Amino acid sequence: MEIEILTHGKRKELLSKLAGFYATQLNIQKSNYKVVIVTDPTLKSQGSLGICARTGQREITVGLYSYLSFGRILYTLAHEMVHVKQMVRGHYRQEPKKRSEGVHHYWLGKRVNKTYIKRPWEIEAIGREDELVESLSQFLTKQKKKLGKKKA
């Protein structure tokens, strides 16, 4: 999986490492998709801290609100990377509506029209956020212990 980060500021390296870690945890790191992560200062005013959409044949774009705190970055990117996994595996897809604004949502090949919190792809993404952030925390704790042993 190729990961490209489009952002201004110091978060580029952080986002790249987090996305790579989450991709590995979700077992999609060997996918032939490109994931483009962009930060957007207008997302929150549009009612979202993060979004995910397929933007090309083998490209998925993740948008993150530009002013997320460090903690919110961890959870929001984890959530959006679950959506990346769902799209890469073909479980979740969106198609533009033909006669109006917006998209139709499909889960496992069936069209779904439910409220946000009842959508199966959102249930999975919300459910996996904590797991992914906890995996990251455990990984960082192990790395810290290894560094401590090397210094001793």
Please return the burial class of 29, using the count of CB atoms within 10 Å of its CB with bins 0-12, 13-18 and 19+. Answer: middle
Q: pLDDT digits over 123-133, tens only?
A: 999 999 999 99
Contact 37, 64 (CB under 8 A): yes
Q: Decide if pLDDT at 74 tops 60.
A: yes
pLDDT bucket at 150, cuts 50 / 70 / 90: low
Query: Do 101 and 148 contact (CB within 8 A), yes or no?
Result: no
- What is the pairing mode between strands 50-56 and 34-40? unpaired
Give the integer Cα–Cα distance in Å for 13 and 27: 21
Residue 81 · residue 132 · CB < 8 Å: yes
Task: Using pLDDT thresholds of 50, 70 and 90, give the confidence band for residue 151.
Answer: low
